[in-house]
Amino acid sequence: MSGDVAIIGMGETPYSRARADKGEVVMSAEQYTAWAVSLALEEAGLTKGDMDGQGLAVIGSEWPHSEIWSAEVAQNLGFRPKLLLRGDFGGENAVELVIQAAAAIRSGLVDYVVAVGGDSPMTPFGAQTSRSWRYDIDYMKPFGLMGFVTLAGLMMNRHMSAYGTKVEHFGKIAVTQREHARLNPNAYVKAPLTIEDYMKSRVLSDPLRLLDSVMFVNGGLAVVMAGRGKASGAPKQPVYITGYGMVHNYAEGDPAMPDVTTTGVKVAARDALQMAGLGSGDLDFLQLYDDFTGAVLMQIEDIGFCAKGEGGRFVERTDMSYRGEVPVNTGGGLLSNGQPGMAAGFVHLVEAVRQLRGEAVNRQVNGARAGLVSGLGGLAYGNNLANSGALILGVV
């Protein structure tokens, strides 16, 4: 395939914790969705009317979402799409929807797809409609588990005990990403962060600290995708999707008792790189799904930058800043950007587009030509994350 579909427009709204008492913007998911779509269409030089008979890909959101949500979004926007895609992949939403949209465009079904994530987890305005997993409701919460926080703690504990990884290794990821966030006008969290601050931060579930984990923000993000024919005339430099891979319910080793330190990104990134005809060494940056620092460390191993278990030592000796050998999460990632609910994966996607267009200003990776965006979503029982995906993006 290599590069017959491109991202030709993107939109990212400012983020908010919806603290009206601090003068923050308070908006609903519908408003964020509309705002992001409008920004992305404008960049692409397109109007709402151009989307008639095209594709609309919508994430499920923390709030609100009805059972039949994508059609509600289409009505809200006044779109008359031929194709509606709906993502229920959690942190993997953006990557998965972009892959599904690319496949639809390649098949000739549509010429354009707008993929949008708008979410307002900080302002639920009424009962949250989404439910957790049956196994969480029945076999985790009554057993005393704290969902994501417990599972992240368990994965990091396993990595430390199996391979000698240290908390400082996780800390370096948080600190590097904060340095990036401080250079990103869109990032929500910009307070300086040192490794000492990290070490002092509150432990939620050993070894997971507050600064290892994300916090929710409200926000909206969108991209416009088109086939090569339409993309070549776009006002902005097209960023091509040159490879992709995904896997669901991946288990390393025995599926009953898998190795939780290996994620499905191992398979997704391998397939994506193969499709793009690249090796991991050809990547100019990584935008890695980072609901917690441990996920970043595991993915660095899974993508092949070092052997499984060497991630801690790799992180220690490697400059992961935008100037470094392996730039990681150059916009600050979710850890410092904040997690806009189920739209989170779009944060990594828009940063990759920005880097490849050369628009990342004071955090620009020099001469960035190819980068990887990963997505991880859904807490699996007895494993790590259920949905894994990877995109290779590039400019020609």
Partner 1 sequence: MSEKPLPEITPLSKPFWDAAARHELLVQRCGKCGRFIWYPRGSCPYCGSRDLEWAKPRDTGKVYAATVARAVVGNSPAWEKELPYAVAMVDMDDGFRIYGRVVGAKPEDVRPGMRVRLEFEDIGNGVAVPVFRPA
Residues of this chain that interact with partner 1 (CB under 8 A) are 134-135, 137-150, 153-155, 157-158, 161-162, 202-208, 254-257, 260, 381-382
Q: β-strands 219-227, 112-119: how paired?
A: antiparallel
Q: Which two tokens stand for residue 116?
A: 């949008």
Give the residue with the Cβ less far from partner 1, 216 or 289.
216
Q: How far is the CB of 162 from partner 1 (least distance, A)?
A: 7
Q: How far is the CB of 158 from partner 1 (least distance, A)?
A: 4
The residues with which 58 forms a beta bridge, in sequence order, are 86, 116
Give the residue with the Cβ less far from partner 1, 19 or 141.
141
Q: How far is the CB of 164 from partner 1 (least distance, A)?
A: 13
Residues 192, 178 contacting (CB under 8 angstroms): yes
Give the residue with the Cβ less far from partner 1, 128 or 194.
128
Q: How far is the CB of 290 from partner 1 (least distance, A)?
A: 18
Give the residue with the Cβ less far from partner 1, 142 or 281.
142
Q: What is the DSSP string of 113-137?
A: EEEEEEE-TT---S-------HHHH
| Residue whose C-alpha is closest to residue 223's, from 11, 2, 3 | 11
The residues with which 59 forms a beta bridge, in sequence order, are 87
Q: How far is the CB of 219 from partner 1 (least distance, A)?
A: 21
Query: What are the DSSP E strand ranges found in 131-249?
Result: 203-205, 208-209, 219-227, 239-248
| Residue whose C-alpha is closest to residue 278's, from 6, 5, 2 | 2
Q: How far is the CB of 210 from partner 1 (least distance, A)?
A: 9
| Residue whose C-alpha is closest to residue 165's, from 283, 309, 66, 350 | 309
Residues 59, 342 contacting (CB under 8 angstroms): yes
Q: How far is the CB of 132 from partner 1 (least distance, A)?
A: 9
Over the range 266-298, which residues count as b (16 or more CB within 10 Å of their CB) and which as e?
A: bbbbbbbbebbebebeebbbbbbbbbbbbbbbb
Give the residue with the Cβ less far from partner 1, 132 or 232.
132
CB atoms within 10 A of CB 209: 23
Give the residue with the Cβ less far from partner 1, 144 or 229.
144
Give the residue with the Cβ less far from partner 1, 148 or 346.
148
Residues 379, 151 contacting (CB under 8 angstroms): yes
Q: How far is the CB of 289 from partner 1 (least distance, A)?
A: 19
Give the residue with the Cβ less far from partner 1, 123 or 150.
150
The C-alpha atoms of residue 74 and residue 296 are separated, in whole angstroms, by 34
What is each CA distance from 249 to 52, 148, 240, 379, 385, in whole angstroms?
35, 17, 28, 10, 8
Residue the block writes with tokens 């970043």: 296
Q: Give the 3-state secondary structure of 339-385.
A: ECHHHCHHHHHHHHHHHHHCCCHHHCCCCCCEEEEEEEEEECCCCCE
Give the residue with the Cβ less far from partner 1, 125 or 139.
139
Give the residue with the Cβ less far from partner 1, 45 or 382.
382
Residues 369, 357 contacting (CB under 8 angstroms): no
Q: How far is the CB of 261 from partner 1 (least distance, A)?
A: 9
Q: How far is the CB of 157 from partner 1 (least distance, A)?
A: 5
